[in-house]
Chains A and B, each alone.
Chain A
Amino acid sequence: MKLLEKEYKYMYQTLDEEDQMLFEELEGIIDSHHSRTEDKWDVLHEMMTHLYESEGESFKSLFGKQPENYALELGTSMEKGKSRYWKDFGMLFAYYTFIYSLCVLIAGSFTVSWLLLALPLLIALMIPMMNKGIRQQAFKGPASQTSTTITFLLLFGITKVFIIFTFHDYFSPFLIVNYDGDVISVIKIACFTLLITVFFITLITSRRISMKFLSYSN
């Protein structure tokens, strides 16, 4: 697959700016659907070869004036790559871990609540919306994804508020750990938690591990 990607990138460099942007848009829409990397390069290489061989033609004159229409079709009909989903999951998880660490520092106590178990579920819900809404709007995707974008933004904000509220006394019955130490100790524990989280995220998102995971699940 590396060869296809290499050839694609070589041909991409020979295009003019507008055609390059259109291919980028196509790539973005396909990516937003978590399509398998192999499928992505397979189709993109084929289309690029087509354009490369038809000298003098532009992207729009060859593939039509509205590339978004079939880009969406390509994206939805491609097989989904599970590892790409986990990459996004890891990214959001790292972000919320950072928010959690900030809360630990501000509150001055290290608390772990059972409620935090809902965090992975909220993130899992957020990812499809993030890709359909935000990314497609960024790439001027075909369908209007306003409601999806708003739902994602709401969920994104609610999750942050949710983390903050797990520190509140009202939810103290749900606490597993409640360590009230001096600031240095809290920082040490927070750093330790952060390191462990980063380790697990690397473990989940690294290609080799996810491939092993996929081969076990198949």
Chain B
Amino acid sequence: MKSQMLKGILEGCILKLIDRETLYGYDIIIRLQEFNLGMVSEGSIYPLLLKLQKSGYITGRRVKSSEGPMRKYYKITEAGTAYLKEFQMHWEQLDIAVNDIFGEGKDEAARKRI
């Protein structure tokens, strides 16, 4: 998938995952893989997390881990929740429009075959 396209979608996906539960970087990647977003490289997650933090949508807190180094856990903020609602609304509109266009294309091809 084109990286620019993926970036925009990922932002919303990461925010949604953090909205569900407090997560740290590694957790986020595992969750994304669980949702079949395995094409996302781990490296691209960190600039996005940084961007979301800078925008004030999430906050990070370092917690000592018994297993090794400290982990940074992310939590959604009020501004993040508001942005997530907005994202979801835009996504639903886009999803309907794109599906309509692609659905229409398929119908026309089927009609031609008949």
Contact = CB atoms under 8 A, between A and B. Distances in A.
A46 B25 contact: yes
Interface in B61-79: 62, 67-72
B88 to A, nearest CB: 24
Interface stretch (A72-80, A120-128, A132-140): A72-80
A78 B43 CA distance: 15
Q: Is the interface of A mostly helix, strand, loop or mixed?
A: helix
A11 B65 CA distance: 14
Interface string B33-53: 000000001111011011100
Contacts, number: 66
Contact of A43 (B50, B68, B69): B50
A63 interface: yes
A86 to B, nearest CB: 23
A67 B47 CA distance: 12
A62 B42 contact: yes
Size band of the interface chain A makes with B = 20 to 34
B26 interface: yes
* Residues of B contacting A: mostly: helix
Contacts of A54: 26
Contacts of B70: 3-4, 7, 45, 49
B42 A53 contact: no
A64 B26 CA distance: 15
Given A46-B25, A64-B41, A77-B51, A52 B46 contact: no
Contacts of A70: 41, 43-44, 46-47
A7 B69 contact: yes
Given A7-B70, A45-B69, A49-B71, A64 B42 contact: yes
A64 B29 CA distance: 13
A47 interface: yes
Query: In the complex, which of the residues A4, A42, A52, A53 has the most CB atoms of chain B within 10 Å of its own CB atom?
Result: A53
B107 to A, nearest CB: 39
B90 interface: no
Interface string A49-62: 11011100000001
14 contacts: A4-B62, A11-B69, A49-B25, A49-B26, A49-B68, A49-B71, A52-B69, A53-B68, A63-B43, A74-B47, A77-B47, A77-B51, A77-B54, A79-B54
